[in-house]
Amino acid sequence: MNKGYLCLLLHAHLPFIRHPEFDNFLEEDWFYEGLIETYIPLLNVFHRLYTEKIDFRILMTLSPSLCEMFSDTLLQNRFINKLNKLIELSYNEIERTKNSDFYHTSLMYNSKLKECYDIFVNRYDKNLINGFKFFQDKELINIITCGATHGMLPLLNINKNTINSQIEVAVKNYYKHFKKYPQGIWNSECAYYPGLEEIFERWGIKYFFVDTHGILYAEKQPKYGVFAPLYCDNGVAVFGRDVESSKQVWSATEGYPGDIDYRDFYRDIGYDLPLDYIGPYIHPNNIRVMTGFKYYRITGKNVEKAPYNPEWAYNKVKTHAANFKYNREKQIEFLNTMMDREPIIVAPYDAELFGHWWYEGPEFIYQLCKEISQSGNLSMITPMEYLKKYPENQVSNPCMSTWGNKGFFDVWINGSNDWIYKHLHECSIKMVEMSNKLKDTSDNLTIRILNQMARELLIAQTSCWAFIMATGTTVNYAVKKVNDHITRFLDFYNMLINNDPDVYYLEKYEWCDTIFEEIDFHSYTDEHLETRLI
Amino acid sequence: MFNQKELKDKTITELKKIADSNKINYADKAKKEDLIKLILKSQANTSSKPIVIKSVKKEIKVKPAKSKSVDIKIKPAKEKAADIKKDTKKQNNISISNGKLPDNYGKDKLILLIVNPYKGYAYWEFSDKSKNTHGLQNKDIIKYLRLYDITEKGEINKSTDYQDIRLNNDSSSWYIDFNKPNRKYIAQIGYIKSGKFIPVISSNSVVVPRDEVSHEIDKKWMINNEKYKLILEASGANVLFKHDGSQELMKFLAGNIEESISSGKIE
C-alpha cells in the first residue's frame, strides 16, 4: 500500500539569559514561562503517549543555549521559587473566582501548576534534559542540535573559524548533555549559505533543513520538490519545509491557534487586577508582568472577550488534530500518484508556539500523535529513518535562504540592527587572531581569558538580539546585550594585547556569563578547521 | 578607613574589592591611581554611609553602575522600526558603564552582506594611513562605491560590468541594489582622480541567491514536464513568501500589544 511520512520538528531555543547579579530579572521570565507553558507540558505529552504505548516520532532541536539553561542550578532554583509563588496565587485565584465563570479555569491552573512542580522536581530532578534524554533513549523523540548560541551563520561568515566554532561548541555541548553526538542540525533561523555543509560534515552531521525555496531554488531542479531530501555535493542531506502543513498552523488568519475557542494570550491578571492583590506575584516595584493566569478565549475580532471554557478548547483541539492528519493523508494520496517513492512531509515549528503562544498546542501534539498512530497511510518518521529507507537521493546544492519573513535576511539585517555586524565581525577576527597566536599557551590565566572571550562573543552572536531589535519589543534589552558582551570581549582582548590581565574582572564575568563551562577557545584556531571529530 | 600609603600598597584587584564594598562607581579599566583617588574621596564623605550590597558568591559585589540596566529594561518598549536607530544611539550612551562600543576599529575594511536576491548591505571604514595617503579627510573628495558583476570574469580587473554609487561624505554603510539575482558581486570604494577610479578598499565577494527555480535539469532525475509542474505546485512554488512567518502569528496571538513590556517572544 502506498504511504508517506510526516516529520514533525519542534525547534526549542531561548537566548542565554541569566542574571545572577539581580534577585529578579524580567527577561529571565522568558525561560520560566517557557518551562511552565511549553517544555514541561511537552514532556508530559511524551510521557502520556509513552505510558499509553502509542508509537510516535518527534524531532526536536534543543539549542545548546537552552540546554545550558535547563541544566543551570541558579535558574532551576529560581524557577522553583517562582513556581511556588504561582501555586500560592492559584489558591488565591480559586477563592477569588468562586461562583464565577472563571472558576473552572482557575481550578485548571491550580492543578496544572501543581503537576508542573511534580514533573519538574520529582520526575526530572529539576533538569528537563533528563526528560528529553529519556524519550530520546526510547527512540520516541530524536534530538538534534543547532548553532551553539543560535548565530545567524550566513551573516557571521566573516571567516570559517567563526562558523566552525558555532558548530563545534554545539556538537560538544550536545555530547555533554546527551552522551552521544547529534546526527542532524536545525540551523538557526533555518538559514543556509552554500558551503555551510562542509562544516556540518566535519562534525559528523548527516542532515539539515532549509525553507521551501532553499530546495525549490536548488542548483538543479529538485525532482521531488520538497517531498524528498537532496544531497549536497559532499553527501550531507538536506530536507525542505512543507508549505501546506506549515500554513495550517502558522497562518495568523487561517491557522488553528487563532480559533475563537482557544485561550486568549493577552488578557492576564498581571495587568488586570489591582496592585494590592496581584502585587506579590508580579515584578518587585509593582511592575506589571504576565502571570500566566488568563481567563478569556480569543472570542473573535472586535467583540468583547468571553470567558475561557477548557472543555470547548479541548474539543476543538481534537477536531484540529484530526483535520491536520486528514489533510496530510490527502496530501500523501496525491503525492503517491506523482512520485515513485514515499514522500516525506517536513513540518517544523518553534516549540514555544505550542503552549506559550498557542496554549492548547501541547494537547494538539498529543492528539495528533494519537490520530496518526491509527492512520492507514501516514506515519511519523525521523530524517535518519527516512534516509535509511531511501539512501539514494538526488545531488543538488540548495539555495541560500532562511525561514524568516520574505525568505532571506531582511529580518536580521535592516536599519534597526545592521550596526551590530561591524562589531560581531571585528570581534570574530580578533578572536581568531588571538586563538591562533596563543594556541600553545599553558598559562592558565591566559586560557581562562581566551575561553571567556569565546563565551562573550558567542552570546553576542545570538540571532535573537537582531530579531528583537527588528520586532520592536524589549529593544533596549537586546541592544544592551550586544553592547555588554562586545565590550566585555574587547576588554579581555585588550588585556591580552597589553599583557595586563585583570583577575577580578575575569572572575566577575566568569560568574555572570557561565554558558559552556567546557568551552575550548581552540575551536577558533585554523587547526580546528582541519580537525574531524568522528 | 585607609590612608593613601596603605592604598598604594594594595594590588588593583584589592582596590577594586574595596571600591565595590564601599559602592564606589569606577570604570572597569580604571587605573590604580584613579581607584585610590576615588576611595579617598569616598572616605572623606563619611556622612554618606556605605551601602551594604547583598553579598554574592566569592565576595563578588554587584557594581552599582550595573543597576542602571534595571531602569533601562523595564521601560516600556514602544519603538517603531524607524525610531530604533535614534534610540540605539541614545542607548549606547546610557547602558555601557564599562566603555562605549568603538565607532570603528582603525582598519581598512569593506564588507558586503546579502539581504535578499535584490539587496545588499555594505559597511566600511578606512585606516588613518589610507585617509592620509588619499586625502580622504578632504571634503571635496567624492567617494564612490563601485559594484562589479564578476560572475563570468571572476575578477575585478577583467570586469567591465559595474555600477557606481555616489556616497554621502559621512556615510559608513549603504544598502545596495543588485542588478540581477544569482550573480557574483564584489565592491570597491574609492574616488575619481583625473577621470580615473582610484580604489581604496575592496570587499569580499558574494554570490546573490537565485529567485526562481533553476533551469538546470538533472538528467538522471528527470520527470515529465506536466508532472514536474504539479510537484512544484504541491511544494508551494506558487505561494512562496505569501504565507505568514512566525512573527506575524505571534503578533496576532499577542493581540498586537504595543504596551507589553516584556516577553515579546522571540523566534
pLDDT in tens, A185-226: 999 999 999 999 999 999 999 999 999 999 999 999 999 999
How far B198 CA lies from chain A's nearest CA (Å)? 24
Find chain A residues with C-beta within 8 A of B111's C-beta: 158, 421-422, 425
How far B202 CA lies from chain A's nearest CA (Å)? 14
Pairing of strands A4-12, A378-380: parallel
The proportion of chain A whose per-residue pLDDT surpasses 70, expressed as a percent, equals 99
Which residues, 6+ apart, have CB-to-CB distance to A19 below 8 Å? Answer: A25, A27, A28, A512
Q: pLDDT confidence of A247, banded at 50, 70, 90?
A: confident
Q: At which residue does the C-alpha cell 571567556 appear?
A: A452
Find chain B residues with C-beta within 8 A of A480's C-beta: 69, 72-73, 91, 95
How far A146 CA lies from chain B's nearest CA (Å)? 13
How far A144 CA lies from chain B's nearest CA (Å)? 17
Do B222 and A421 make contact, defined as CB atoms within 8 angstroms?
no
How far B194 CA lies from chain A's nearest CA (Å)? 33
A443-481 residue pLDDT tens:
999 999 999 999 999 999 999 999 999 988 889 999 999
- The ipTM is 0.95
Do A251 and B243 make contact, defined as CB atoms within 8 angstroms?
yes
Do A223 and B227 make contact, defined as CB atoms within 8 angstroms?
no
From the list A496, A514, A511, A508, the residue with the least C-alpha distance to A431 is A496
pLDDT of residue B240: 83
Find chain B residues with C-beta within 8 A of A356's C-beta: 265
More confident of the two residues B242 and A298: A298
A359-389 residue pLDDT tens:
999 999 999 999 999 998 999 999 999 999 9
Find chain A residues with C-beta within 8 A of B60's C-beta: 507-508, 511
Do B77 and A423 make contact, defined as CB atoms within 8 angstroms?
no
Cβ atoms within 10 Å, residue A530: 8
How far A306 CA lies from chain B's nearest CA (Å)? 15
Do A217 and B81 make contact, defined as CB atoms within 8 angstroms?
no
Asked if A243 contacts B236 with a C-beta cutoff of 8 angstroms, the reply is yes
Do B73 and A476 make contact, defined as CB atoms within 8 angstroms?
yes
3-state secondary structure of A290: coil
Cα(B241)–Cα(A508) distance, rounded to whole angstroms?
A: 46
Cα(B261)–Cα(A29) distance, rounded to whole angstroms?
A: 12
Chain A to chain B Cβ contacts (< 8 Å): 307
Torsion, CA B6, CA B7, CA B11, CA B15, rounded to 10 = 140
pLDDT of residue B50: 33
Distance (Å) of CA B35 to CA B13, B54, B96: 10, 22, 19
Closest residue, chain B, to A474 (C-alpha): B77
pLDDT of residue B168: 92
Q: Give the range among A26-35, A335-344, B19-28, B44-53 with minimum mean pLDDT.
A: B44-53
**DSSP letter string, A369-396:** HHHHHT-SSEEE--HHHHHHH-----B-
Asked if A79 contacts A32 with a C-beta cutoff of 8 angstroms, the reply is yes
Do B116 and A409 make contact, defined as CB atoms within 8 angstroms?
yes
Cα(B31)–Cα(B29) distance, rounded to whole angstroms?
A: 6
Give this prediction's pTM. Answer: 0.86
Interface test with A, best of B246, B256, B259 (most A CBs within 10 A): B246
Find chain B residues with C-beta within 8 A of A483's C-beta: 91-92, 95-96, 101
Do A470 and B78 make contact, defined as CB atoms within 8 angstroms?
no
Cα(A217)–Cα(B216) distance, rounded to whole angstroms?
A: 10
pLDDT tens track, chain B, 267 positions = 677 777 887 777 778 877 877 777 777 767 777 788 788 777 665 433 333 333 333 333 333 333 333 333 333 333 333 333 333 333 333 333 355 899 999 999 999 999 999 999 999 999 999 999 999 988 889 999 999 999 998 888 877 899 999 999 889 999 999 999 999 999 999 999 999 999 999 999 999 999 999 999 999 998 888 889 999 999 999 888 765 555 565 555 555 333 332 322 333
* Helix or strand (DSSP H, E) at A238: strand A237-240
Cα(A244)–Cα(B33) distance, rounded to whole angstroms?
A: 67
The full 3-state SS of A494-510, as one line of letters, equals HHHHCCCCCHHHHHHHH
Closest CB to A426: pick one of B105, B210, B257.
B105
pLDDT of residue A248: 87
